[in-house]
Amino acid sequence: MQYKRILLKLSGEALMGDRQYGIDPKRLAEYAKEIKQVVEKGIEVAIVIGGGNIFRGVAGAANGMDRVQGDHMGMLATCINGLALQSALEDQGVYTRLQTALEIKEVAEPYIKRKAIRHLEKGRVVIFGAGTGNPYFTTDTAAVLRAIEVDADAILKGTRVNGIYNTDPEKDKDAVKFETITFKEVIEKGLKVMDMTAFTLSEENKLPIIVFDMNTNGNLLKLVSGEKIGTVVDN
Ligand code: GTP
């Protein structure tokens, strides 16, 4: 196996499947199956999930809402997704723990780094909810932060596209995919992988980012097994 401990970043929007809003149970179950496959191989899996399928703080602010209120709503949305994913994983017989950056003790454990690592060592999937617990930070930043804290080997960013391209592959059919790219090149070329806060945090802490297509069955397992899936961003 290429990786021993991974931080999987999933977008909230991905949970919508073909819907316009909310959670598609079919998509959720598919993701749970993909995750189960890697857990069964002995890979330690931590997950950060976004909340954009329910609420985005930035979008709220664009409509005149206070940004901090909006971001708090977004953080709660990630907890809803975390609970949904936890339930879907448990349906597949995968042991999980949900830890949240904002305390909602009746619902989930509070985030405690050492406890999170212990859960991972015991083979439990740890889902981190509520982002970093602070407004103005994205769930990508939360994903990088948690990956560094729990000493993950890499952050695997599951998306709709199968890697990083020189132009938007959904708009340009001549777009060329990178197999590997350095952090520096991503910045020089003005490519969008993550927001800059997340990206530079990853670079400074030498945490590789792999962007891959999470919607193709078996991709996650292939990736952790060492197959060249997606694009690797590294120093
Ligand atoms: P180990 O004892 O280290 O194996 O971990 P554990 O998670 O099994 O033990 P613990 O006794 O901490 O937790 C037992 C159950 O309670 C697990 O399902 C936890 O997710 C849950 N749990 C622990 N702390 C909290 C909390 O603060 N809030 C909520 N809602 N659940 C919690």
Q: Which residue has the higher pLDDT, 160 or 97?
A: 97
Identify the residues whose C-beta falls under 6 Å from ligand 1: 97, 105-110, 118, 122
Ligand 1 pocket check: which of 97, 103, 107 to mutate, most ligand atoms within 8 Å of Cβ? Answer: 97
- Whether residue 170 is predicted with pLDDT greater than 90 in this model: the reply is no
Residues constituting the chain: 235
Confidence of residue 148 (pLDDT cuts 50, 70, 90): very high
Q: How far is the CA of 209 from the centre of ligand 1 (A)?
A: 30
Ligand 1 center to 118 CA (angstroms) = 11
Q: What's residue 213's pLDDT?
A: 96
Q: What is the pLDDT of residues 58-116, one digit of tens each?
A: 888 888 999 999 999 999 999 999 999 999 999 999 999 999 999 999 999 999 999 99
Which tens digits make up the pLDDT trace of 199-232? 999 999 999 999 999 999 999 999 999 999 999 9
> Which value does ipTM take for this structure?
0.89
- Between CA 5 and CA 70 the distance in angstroms is 32
Q: Kindly give the pairing relationship between strand 154-159 and strand 125-129.
A: unpaired
Residue nearest to atom 4 of ligand 1 (CA): 119
Strand order in the sheet with 44-49: 109-110, 96-100, 125-129, 44-49, 5-10, 154-159, 209-213, 231-234, 180-182
DSSP 111: P
* pLDDT greater than 90 at residue 57: no
Closest ligand 1 atom, CA of 118?
3
